[in-house]
Amino acid sequence: MSLNCSDLCPLWPCEDKKEYKGVWVVGEVSEKGLHEASLQMLTPALKVSKKLRSEVVGVLIGYNVKKYADEFIKHGASKVIVVDDKALSTYYPMLYGDVIVELAKRFKPELILIAATMRGREMAPYIANTLKTGITADCTDFDVDEKTGDVLQIRPPFGAMLLAHIKTPSRRPQVSTARPNVFPVPPRDDSRSGEIIEVKVNVRKPRMKLISVKKIKKEEVPIEKAEVIVSGGKGIGSKEGFKVLEELANLLGGVVAGSRKAVDAGWIPRERQVGQTGKSVKPILYIAVGISGAAQHMFGVREAGVIVAINKDENAPIFRQADYGIVSDYREVLPKLIEYINSLKKEPRLLKELIE
């Protein structure tokens, strides 16, 4: 495609997209170190870079962050660009965003991947927009259009079980985010080595100031790490209804989660929301109670080992997306289930009978 700058919005820089090379993963660093979600972005980065015959570059900005560069390399990056500056000791979306923008202008990557953590979702659209390029949020897969070299950013749009393949045909860099736990962290290889490029960037004065930070109590097991999840939806009907789910979850060594409807109703906190707009989970066992099975919800449990559905509506779509379905009212079934598991605990001999 030849460049025709007069066709472009004059606010956009007119540049040949062929000048842009490399796939970037922007790292998020907190006092706990490099965020696992950032390392997960190396998986799609490696896939895309292979097809584009380019390299994966980690990007680290902040203060005292150089020590994390090796993490990026051991998990698959070839290079890491580091901006280590005292002026970046506090994260501000615009300040950090402007540094990434500066780096992108200088090094011209073809794709920038950012984990859609809360900070990532705050900063990524700013970066893309300031570069006057497109951004695709919450991608679940990536591919490359071999002819044009455009990255296909694949995401489930609003609607049915559909995937939209989104391209940014004329602009570079392409920018995408993906939710944590959609991709695995690529295996660590301690024999890998790579180049660390330290860069100085002119850091602007932030027009905001962090006044205080208060840690909020971390829950014992976050739903994305749980092996057993008992999840409730609209059919639970009330906050009190979740008590019996909690009881079952405790008995199975699991945790309670919920659908968007349950979260919107205030029955369960937002950090326990499963689905496209919540979290992706991968328990061995997912018990969906009073959940109809909307595509957005089911996306979040696609990696669950076994899905059990308990719903009194036999036409609920969840029954066609579950392994074991029970058409019943949870109010009757769950107490019996709890009672039954308790009796099995006391009488392991009953277990044998069940298996035979």
Partner 1 sequence: MVRVVVGIKWVPNTQAVRFDPKTGTLMREGVPSIINPPDLSAVEFALKIKERYGGEAIAITMAPPSAVKGLEHVLGMGVDRAVLISDRAFAGADTLATSYVLAEAIKKISRDVGKVDLAVFGQETIDSSTAHIPAQTASWLRWPYVYYVTDLEIKDDKVVVSRVLEDRVEKYELELPSVISVFMESIEARDVRLLHKLRAKIEKPIVVWSNKELKLDPRCIGLKGSPTMVSKITWTLEVPRKKIVYKPKDPEDAARWLISMLLKDEKTSKIFKWVVGG
Q: Which of residues 46-65 bind partner 1 (CB under 8 A)?
A: none
Cis peptide before 173 (omega within 30 of 0): yes
Amino acid letter at 114?
I
CB of 254 to partner 1, least distance (A): 9
Do 91 and 122 form a contact (C-beta atoms < 8 A)? no
Which C-beta is closer to partner 1: that of 108 or that of 165?
A: 165
65 vs 29: CA distance, rounded Å: 7
Angle, vertex CA 57, rays to CA 34 and CA 76, nearest 5: 70
Amino acid letter at 94?
M
167 vs 135: CA distance, rounded Å: 9
124 vs 136: CA distance, rounded Å: 10
Which C-beta is closer to partner 1: that of 194 or that of 278?
A: 278
CB of 272 to partner 1, least distance (A): 12
User: Candidates 10-18, 19-27, 103-111, 187-195 — which segment interacts with partner 1 by CB under 8 A?
Assistant: 10-18
CB of 189 to partner 1, least distance (A): 29
84 has which bridge partners? 62
Footprint (CB under 8 A) of partner 1, residues 15-44: none
User: Candidates 14-22, 51-59, 88-96, 106-114 — which segment interacts with partner 1 by CB under 8 A?
Assistant: 88-96
Which C-beta is closer to partner 1: that of 146 or that of 190?
A: 146
CB of 159 to partner 1, least distance (A): 6
DSSP classification of residue 274: B
124 vs 26: CA distance, rounded Å: 10
25 has which bridge partners? 58, 113
Q: How many residues bind partner 1 (CB under 8 A)?
A: 111
Footprint (CB under 8 A) of partner 1, residues 236-275: 251-253, 261, 264, 270-271
CB of 258 to partner 1, least distance (A): 14
Q: Does 14 bind partner 1 (CB under 8 A)?
A: no
Footprint (CB under 8 A) of partner 1, residues 179-208: 206-208
Neighbouring CB atoms inside 10 A of 148's CB total: 12
Give the per-residue contact string, 119-138, with partner 1 (x = CB under 8 A; - = no).
x-xxxxxx-xxx-xxxxxxx
CB of 200 to partner 1, least distance (A): 23
User: Candidates 15-23, 56-64, 147-155, 235-243 — which segment interacts with partner 1 by CB under 8 A?
Assistant: 147-155
Neighbouring CB atoms inside 10 A of 238's CB total: 9
The first and second tokens of residue 130, run together, are 């300031």
